Amino acid sequence: MSPKTSAHFATIHFTAWCFMLQLSRGPVQTQPGTTPNIRHIVVGRCFTYTTLINSSLSHDCEEIWRHFEEAVLHQPTCSVKVQHYDKMFDTMQEFWPCDRFLFWSKTRTLMHSYAAVFRHFWTLENTLVGFMFNELVWCGQEEESGFNFNSCPEWSACGDHPVFSLWRHASQKFAEMACGNITVLLNGSIADAFNRKSMFGSVELDSLNPQRVDHVNIKVVTNLEGPYIESCSRGSITDLIQILQSRGFRWTCTDSDQTLMALLCLQNQQFSYQACTNPLQPTTSLQTPDMGQCGFNGR
Ligand SMILES: *[C@@H]1O[C@H](CO)[C@@H](O)[C@H](O)[C@H]1NC(C)=O
Ligand SMILES: *[C@@H]1O[C@H](CO)[C@@H](O)[C@H](O)[C@H]1NC(C)=O
Ligand SMILES: *[C@@H]1O[C@H](CO)[C@@H](O)[C@H](O)[C@H]1NC(C)=O
């Protein structure tokens, strides 16, 4: 993958992670180094997860850490590939019930409220690996052993960035596991709501298995104040539908889903918008065409 592409990934999917930190610190160019106390945080989160969140899991947190360290520290800083994390992922297998998988792109805040209200939804952040590594930064050092706590390379300066490769691996696994009905939250207030360079568009979509997934339920949400750029029938989302269709997925697509709009109204505490004062307005929906009725099969 070219450095440019990986830089793009980073800004699309992980904005709230190291990048936000960077922005809020002003014009300093160097990236922050490995998160201090990373070992304690990672192992501690692992125990939190396996003790308090799902006590039926019996993962060995110290072993996971050892595999993590091996993956990151046994290769040059910018050559930590997806497969270097294979051993670590092998020790942290999880199985999730179907119909709960939630994917998203550029809708992070809304996704968090949605997943908080509808507790049955699972995002990558609810998985053990997502929980353990969320918002952390890490990298090795070129000449010495151990993590570099002073600075880590930018994503764009790295062929295979250790943080990026872990998330790519995690996203791929998450999508491969997805089954039943899955939900995809997309942002209709930006161009390229479905972006082939986003983690969803480049990794997750290709890893979804039409044999395991029943319906892909797409929900397109715009900001209350607009702009209204894309929808189920306009822009890049039609490309997504095309891809789903060609791979044999059944799908639905809903614009301005009522529940999501209500959440946006609550989040913004802005009840002056029409969508907030008039919550019963109908939403538009599309779905997989019925082949018989539409005559696609030539009958
Ligand atoms: C706990 O993990 C097991 C195995 O992965 C899974 O089947 C179960 O649904 C999980 N329970 C909760 C409450 O997440
Ligand atoms: C859509 O994306 C914009 C720009 O990233 C963001 O400010 C906005 O909150 C997003 N809207 C929703 C509904 O997630
Ligand atoms: C799956 O999605 C389809 C289409 O939205 C819906 O008709 C069906 O009831 C859903 N099934 C489950 C188990 O949620």
CATH class name, domain 3-294: mainly alpha
The model's pLDDT over 126-135, given as tens digits with 9 standing for 90+, comes to 999 999 999 9
List the beta bridge partners of residue 251: 216
Rounded to whole angstroms, how far apart are CA atoms 74 and 138?
A: 14
Asked if residue 223 has its Cβ within 6 Å of ligand 2, the reply is: yes
Query: Rounded mean pLDDT of the chain?
Result: 85
pTM here is 0.83
Q: Which residue, 183, 153, 11, 4, is CA-closest to 72?
A: 153
The model's pLDDT over 166-199, given as tens digits with 9 standing for 90+, comes to 999 999 999 999 999 999 999 999 999 999 999 9
Cβ-based neighbour number of residue 121 at 10 Å: 17
Asked if residue 56 has its Cβ within 6 Å of ligand 1, the reply is: yes
Catalytic residue selected from 139, 179, 232, 253? 179
Asked if residue 141 has its Cβ within 6 Å of ligand 2, the reply is: no
User: How close is the Cα of 283 to the center of ligand 1, in Å?
Assistant: 34
Asked if residue 236 has its Cβ within 6 Å of ligand 2, the reply is: no
Q: What's the sign of the alpha-carbon dihedral 144, 149, 151, 155? A: positive
Q: Please say if 98 is a catalytic residue.
A: yes
List the beta bridge partners of residue 193: none
User: How close is the Cα of 48 to the center of ligand 1, in Å?
Assistant: 14
The model's pLDDT over 249-259, given as tens digits with 9 standing for 90+, comes to 999 999 989 88
Rounded to whole angstroms, how far apart are CA atoms 57 and 63?
A: 14
Asked if residue 190 has its Cβ within 6 Å of ligand 2, the reply is: yes
Q: Please say if 232 is a catalytic residue.
A: no
Domain boundaries, the chain: 3-294
The model's pLDDT over 259-278, given as tens digits with 9 standing for 90+, comes to 898 888 888 776 566 667 66
| Contact between residue 202 and residue 196 where contact means Cβ atoms under 8 Å apart | yes
First to last CA, the chain: 45
Q: Which atom of ligand 1 is nearest to the CA of 97?
A: 9
The pLDDT of residue 17:
38
The model's pLDDT over 86-100, given as tens digits with 9 standing for 90+, comes to 999 999 998 888 999
